[in-house]
Amino acid sequence: MEHPVESPEGREVRELKALSREQAALWFWSALQYITDAAAAHRDEELYQAARKTGMAVLSQGIPLPFSEEYVVCPVCHSYPGQNCINMPRHTLNDNLHPERVERARKLRELTENGATEA
């Protein structure tokens, strides 16, 4: 009896199921970076908003925030994920980001990591 040849779709599903949670998270955040890069290149606010919604949905499902502070909305200038912060009076920029944005990302990461360990 012959074994059926695996379809390309079946092979892809098998490979996806073999991904660890960490690998899947890395793939996701890498893809989101491509989206925000495209939003920056095209100055497309709708793409930024889509990236933000997508990121928030993933965070709500327990996938951890990556190490980049660029993935959170800036509380000072309201820059979207993937955008550099906007220079504003009395708010210094460090590596194109406001320190408040960096702190917000740290707190979010801490909260999501603590929530994951408590679950």
Is the Cβ–Cβ distance between 105 and 71 less than 8 Å? Answer: yes
pTM reported for the whole predicted model:
0.60
Is the Cβ–Cβ distance between 91 and 64 less than 8 Å? Answer: no
Say which DSSP state 92 is in: -
pLDDT at site 8: 86
**Structure confidence by residue, pLDDT tens digits, 54-87:** 888 887 888 776 667 887 889 999 988 778 899 9
How many separate helices (H) and strands (E) can be counted in the chain?
4, 0
Position 119 confidence tier, pLDDT thresholds 50, 70, 90: very low
CA distance 118 to 42: 41
Q: Which residue has the tokens 């800036």?
A: 74
